[in-house]
Structure 1
């Protein structure tokens, strides 16, 4: 999607769905179009953001001090730096408008960097990570609410590059719609995203395990299980367990070192 303010952008639509105010009229119009054919979209956004917060809390408890977050969007509505205030964080996004605004929001957080990077460009992602973290390569990597906009070839290339660069002990979290999400009632939404240069790629556990290798998949389960949604959401907001999954990975060589 374009960084032109007159054209919708995924990051800004996502912000709107979360109830944020960092979006433009074009994004709001696009969001309303999506809601007409797929009113559950805000639930996707909420579940992804709540999972991000949960993972951030887990990483904080584990003492993770270096965070690489891919496809970050606008860092509001409870992003990682709010639950990991002492960590060194690299946020990325491919929209110049999002990056410029994010840097304004984060100007008082010197331990947080926000860079313009398209995560389909694996070599640039690694260059930015190396520049930010230097020799300290044991990192926690977030790929929340974004991996399903990346085609198989580019996702596999990115996962391999990240694993080659990261040190043993590194971990990664991502969210992914499962294979049966592309049912008749969502095909119009998928088609809308494709028309706006943001195709959705739905993957099951086996496919995702293969594409993300050599990262070792540790946990694959519905976000509703991760989040105990029955207590967090109203009945009207309930999302079926098969709709979205939270996936945890660890570096394949993690067990070779003593943590």
Structure 2
């Protein structure tokens, strides 16, 4: 007789990420899997926190420049340092295609939302489905600036997914003053042993990973009609603005642990 296993008996990547960020949504199976990842990639949790730190900085930068609505694509669990926490006056639509994320997100947002947040379950690689979803259309006004976040997401879009075309479709929907925020893994600053470990990990997870160079990542943001904000396309741990340069001077993360690049661009 075949044993039936429930979803709670399998590790979930979003719950593992929540665990790395210090959240409370993980299950024992996730924490066990996370321990295995750390053995393979000791810098994994540090890189996850570096990614979230950058996204928080980018959201604050957009908010200071007048953006009061965000579309957080491939958001994962909107818990620790989530966009609506960093920009509490903003309207935020979260998106993911993982039903586990959806169940948790709806609970979290239902408990804390005052009508400023919503969740759309769809694949970000289908911009039409995300942008035309009732929750998106009801909450976000695309005649005004919107911040669109692609946090640790585009490396899951391989060439066959037309990642550059996908990003352009989101950009075309945006008004001047809108922001595009990107983090993307890259082998550029990563040693050979770590690259091998990353390959082994994603092979085990049966997930395709597109490892792009800095210049390839820059092509998502450095396009006609858009201005890339200083400091440009840089290691995730090195992106900062003048306003925040001293906000956490003790923060220490290596380029290898950050394992990718970050960039912010504004529509002219």
Alignment TM-score, normalising by the size of structure 1: 0.85
Q: How far is the alpha carbon of 1:159 from its aligned partner?
A: 0.6
Residue aligned with 1:91, SS? strand
Q: Is the aligned partner of 1:26 residue 2:25?
A: no
User: Does the 8 Å CA contact 1:223/1:241 hold for their aligned counterparts?
Assistant: no
Residue 131 of structure 1: CA displacement?
4.6
Q: Among 181, 184, 190, which residue is 1:176 paired with?
A: 184
Matched residues in 2 for 1:44 and 1:240: separation? 8
Aligned twin of 1:77: 80
In structure 2, the gaps of 5 or more residues are: 1-5
Q: How does 1:100-119 map to 2 (within 5 A)?
A: 100-107=103-110, 108-109=112-113, 110-119=115-124
Q: CA deviation at 1:152?
A: 3.1
Once residues 20 and 119 of structure 1 are traced to their aligned partners in structure 2, the CA distance between those partners, rounded to angstroms, is 24
Match of 2:250 among 227, 232, 238: 232
Task: List per-residue Cα deviations over 1:217-245 (Å, max 9, x = no partner).
Answer: 612112232256983335xx544488322
Give the Å deviation of 1:62: 1.2
Q: What's the secondary structure of 2:175's corresponding residue?
A: coil
Unaligned stretches of 5+ in structure 1? 255-259
Q: Distance in 2 between matches of 1:36 and 1:215?
A: 44
Counterparts of 1:241 and 1:222, CA distance in 2: 10
1:141 matches 2:154: no
Contact 1:159 1:215 in 2 (8 A): no
Q: 1:49 aligns with which of 43, 47, 52?
A: 52
Equivalence for 2:41: 38
Hey, what's the Cα distance between the residues in 2 that align with 1:133 and 1:120? 19
2:3 counterpart residue number: none
Rounded to whole Å, the distance in 2 between the matches of 1:208 and 1:19 is 28
For the Cα contact (< 8 Å) 1:143–1:173, is it kept in 2? yes
Q: TM-score, normalised by structure 2?
A: 0.82
* Structure 1 SS opposite 2:194: coil
Aligned counterpart in structure 2 of residue 61 of structure 1, from 45, 64, 67: 64
Secondary structure of 1:106's match?
helix
RMSD: 2.6
Q: Secondary structure at the match of 1:5?
A: helix
CA distance in 2, matches of 1:216, 1:27: 40
Q: 1:214 Cα shift?
A: 5.6
